[in-house]
Amino acid sequence: MAVLLLAEHDNEALAPATAKALTAAREFGGDVDILVAGEGCKGVADEAAKLEGVGKVLLAEAPQLANRLAEEMAATIVPLMANYTVLLAPATTTGKNVLPRVAALLDVGQISDIIEVKSPDTFVRPIYAGNALETVQTSDKTVVGTVRTTAFAATGEGGSATVETVTPAGAVALSTFAGSDITVSERPELTSAGIVISGGRGMASGENFTKLIEPIADRLGAAIGASRAAVDSGYMPNDYQVGQTGKVVAPDLYIAVGISGAIQHLAGMKDSKVIVAINKDADAPIFQVADYGLVGDLFTVLPELDTELKKAGYGA
Amino acid sequence: MKILVPVKRVIDSNVKVRVKSDGSGVDLANVKMSMNPFCEIAVEEAVRIKERGEADEVVAVSIGNAKSQDTLRTALAMGADRAILVKTEEAVEPLAVAKLLKAVVETEKPDIVILGKQAIDDDCNQTGQMLAGLLGVPQGTFASKIELAGDKVRVTREVDGGLETVELSKPAVITTDLRLNEPRYASLPNIMKAKKKPIDETAPETLGVDIAPRLKVISVAEPKAREAGIKVDDVAQLVDKLKNEAGVL
Ligand SMILES: Cc1cc2nc3c(=O)[nH]c(=O)nc-3n(C[C@H](O)[C@H](O)[C@H](O)COP(=O)(O)OP(=O)(O)OC[C@H]3O[C@@H](n4cnc5c(N)ncnc54)[C@H](O)[C@@H]3O)c2cc1C
Ligand SMILES: Nc1ncnc2c1ncn2[C@@H]1O[C@H](COP(=O)(O)O)[C@@H](O)[C@H]1O
């Protein structure tokens, strides 16, 4: 039972999602190797090699892998699977894009969003926006699955695996990368932040995120999130969306501001340790999952919260 | 140019899902069913491409039981030209759906296939990628913009870091994200017209595809319910509770 885990990275740094998915990978009980595929990503491989419990790190570098195009990634991964019976990746947009293609080429199904490894062939995963948890057993010869990283703690460092260079497949050249528009932020990354403050339609504009949410996020070292309505209305970019079809977060503290609490939003945050809801409608469904609810107008509550946090010594 | 749009019939996104007490699944008896929201976005996009004069035909396809006819009628009312039902009473997993779609693609020969990124019942997010793999064609997943440019398709994708653009050769498989468009409501005249549009029927056996499941569902359970907490009176109390009671500040 050898496990291959696909590393999440941007050629520069290993994303925290990898160490979390590694925890799931180690529960299969076999050796875990990590595949770092990209271009100019030797540093990432070295980082991965330091994680505990890694057998070896496979480093596949080629220009066509620079942006992890699914067609190119699959071409490189499929032959490697001759040596493995399990392929995992964190359920990031890269993992979700690449793994099903690999699974199909191996003629096996995929288990999406694994939240528990019951045994090497039996897994728990959420369905219906997390309103039900399904335990499934696969009969496939090779297990291919994506891991919901919020369900697993990160594996620590302490290993010293070897890095082995593997030859990537030749370019299949079905698609080309034509550019990206990546949100640059000094704040912690949404899916791994300890505190998340999210705004919804109630924020009424993007400027209000800047004026009212950002100062608080800065004080708390928090990441900022948004509901679908806030993203659809153009208040915030798409990568801020928390929910069933956006990002799944489980911080120690999640503050929902002007968010009603639709099931699709709850699906992305209801495993947070402590939930705070600020909403002017006392009957908003978000209060049904909130540990602390504050009924009030966010336009007065947020400035007060900022002042109160300042008084309590948070931030400058 | 021809566009194929696979559409799935699923529980309506506004319905509160209930897990059956015997743990065998969720209760779908007498609940409202609709076209999967991401599939609506796919149909809308295909119809808009046709309305711009960049496609000649939009074909909808669904795999499911006879009730999936309703979903196909919705696609036809939105503007698809004709439809195909791959009829089966079995629950079909994404890999098998992809294989059935591959068979349909081989006879229909569409230039692009537009699927939803995710079905809101199984939340798998697999079928489009699998279909692209089986066909050996490029994939543009989680699309928030699709531009046809000669023999290429430019797809802007919603990714974890923001947006990314890829250029695909045709034929290509695309999956839709939420921001691609806002699907129209079918007008009454179009609903009437859709009744006259053809729906062809076929079956997995006819297409020569083995749809035997690879997964066995052992059980389906409710997630641990989250209890509502307390209401605080003001911001000072909130900060105090977060600091001294919850210990998260
Ligand atoms: C297929 C599908 C996928 C989806 N995926 C997601 C997803 O991933 N993530 C997601 O979030 N949603 C998702 N949704 C959308 C979801 O159903 C809701 O429409 C959305 O979450 C609503 O966002 P909201 O709470 O910001 O807006 P609303 O529901 O409009 O709520 C706004 C809230 O703000 C409050 N408010 C207004 N003004 C103030 C004020 N001044 N002070 C305080 N409170 C105020 C109101 O009382 C209200 O409760 C999806 C829907 C579908 C169909
Ligand atoms: N039974 C089906 N019939 C037609 N299309 C389907 C079916 N199942 C999945 N699809 C397509 O695949 C997409 C993604 O589904 P999934 O991979 O199950 O999340 C859907 O939005 C549909 O476009």
Return the domain boundaries, chain B: 2-244
Q: What separation, in Å, do the N-terminal and C-terminal C-alpha atoms of chain B show?
A: 58
| Residue contact B162–A181, C-beta within 8 A | yes
All residues of chain B having their beta carbon less than 8 Å from the beta carbon of residue A181 are: 162-164
**Coil, strand or helix at A190:** helix
* Residue type, position B109, single letter: K
Round to whole Å and give the CA distance between B205 and B243.
Answer: 63
Return the domain boundaries, chain A: 3-165, 195-312
All residues of chain A having their beta carbon less than 8 Å from the beta carbon of residue B139 are: 70-71, 97, 101, 175
Contact A98, B94 (CB under 8 A): no
| Residue contact A135–B221, C-beta within 8 A | yes
Contact B156, B163 (CB under 8 A): yes
Position B228 scores a pLDDT of: 87
User: Across the beta sheet with A162-165, what order do the strands follow?
Assistant: A111-114, A143-147, A86-90, A3-6, A32-38, A54-61, A162-165
Position A4 scores a pLDDT of: 98
Angle at the Cα of B105 from the Cα atoms of B155 and B80, rounded to 5 degrees = 70
Q: Tokens representing A227?
A: 């509901």
Q: What separation, in Å, do the N-terminal and C-terminal C-alpha atoms of chain A show?
A: 52
The domain A195-312 belongs to what CATH superfamily? TPP-binding domain (3.40.50.1220)
Round to whole Å and give the CA distance between A70 and A94.
Answer: 8
Round to whole Å and give the CA distance between A7 and A47.
Answer: 11
Position B159 scores a pLDDT of: 98
* Residue type, position B190, single letter: N
Round to whole Å and give the CA distance between B47 and B43.
Answer: 6
- The runs of H, that is alpha helices, within chain B are 37-51, 68-78, 94-108, 127-135, 188-194, 204-207, 235-240
**In this predicted model, what pLDDT tens digit does every residue of A30-67 receive, in sequence order?**
889 999 999 999 999 999 999 999 999 999 999 999 99
Position B62 pLDDT exceeds 80 = yes
Round to whole Å and give the CA distance between B99 and B111.
Answer: 18
Round to whole Å and give the CA distance between B243 and A130.
Answer: 30
Position B63 scores a pLDDT of: 98
Position A172 scores a pLDDT of: 97
Round to whole Å and give the CA distance between B132 and B144.
Answer: 18
Residue B73, class by beta-carbon neighbours within 10 Å (0-12 exposed, 13-18 middle, 19+ buried)?
buried
Residue A201 assigned as binding residue: yes
As a three-state string, the secondary structure of A47-65 is HHHCECCEEEEEEEECHHH
* Under-50 pLDDT residues of chain A: none
Round to whole Å and give the CA distance between A66 and B138.
Answer: 17
Chain mean position to CA A152: 11
Cα B55 to middle of ligand 1, angstroms: 35
Confirm or reject contact between B36 and chain A (CB < 8 A): no
Choosing from A196, A201, A297 the residue with most ligand 1 atoms within 8 A of its CB, the one to mutate for a pocket test is: A201
Position A36 scores a pLDDT of: 98
Same fold, A3-165 and A195-312: yes
Position A253 scores a pLDDT of: 98
Handedness of CA B37, B42, B43, B45 (dihedral sign): positive
Round to whole Å and give the CA distance between B35 and B68.
Answer: 9
User: Looking at domain B2-244, does it have CATH number 3.40.30.10?
Assistant: no
Question: Which residues, other chains included, contact B125 with Cβ-Cβ below 8 Å and sequence gap of 6+?
Answer: A96, A100, A112, B117, B118
Select the CATH number that applies to the domain covering A3-165 from these four: 3.40.800.20, 3.30.230.10, 3.40.50.620, 1.25.40.80.
Answer: 3.40.50.620
The binding-site residues of ligand 2, defined as CB within 6 angstroms of any ligand atom, are B 6-8, 36, 38-39, 42, 62-64, 92, 94, 97, 115-116, 118-119, 122, 124-128
All residues of chain B having their beta carbon less than 8 Å from the beta carbon of residue A247 are: 160
Q: Give A129→chain B minimum CA distance, Å.
A: 7
What is chain B's mean pLDDT, rounded? 97
Confirm or reject contact between B224 and chain A (CB < 8 A): no
Over residues B96-114, mean pLDDT: 98
Q: Point out the ligand 1 atom lying closest to the alpha carbon of residue A226.
A: 11
- The runs of H, that is alpha helices, within chain A are 16-26, 42-49, 70-80, 93-105, 206-208, 214-220, 228-232, 263-266, 298-311
Q: Tokens representing A9?
A: 């990275």
Question: Which residues, other chains included, contact B135 with Cβ-Cβ below 8 Å and sequence gap of 6+?
Answer: B102, B105, B171, B173
Residue that is written with structure tokens 């932040």 in the block: A193
Round to whole Å and give the CA distance between A25 and A197.
Answer: 31
Q: Tokens representing B201?
A: 């029927």
What are the φ/ψ torsions at residue A97 (nearest 5 degrees)?
-80, -40
* Structure ipTM: 0.98
Position A316 scores a pLDDT of: 74
Round to whole Å and give the CA distance between A238 and A183.
Answer: 10
Position B89 pLDDT exceeds 90 = yes
Over residues B47-70, mean pLDDT: 98
Cα A119 to middle of ligand 1, angstroms: 38
Q: Give B74→chain A minimum CA distance, Å.
A: 22
Q: Whose CA is nearest to atom 20 of ligand 2?
A: B116
* Residue type, position B32, single letter: K
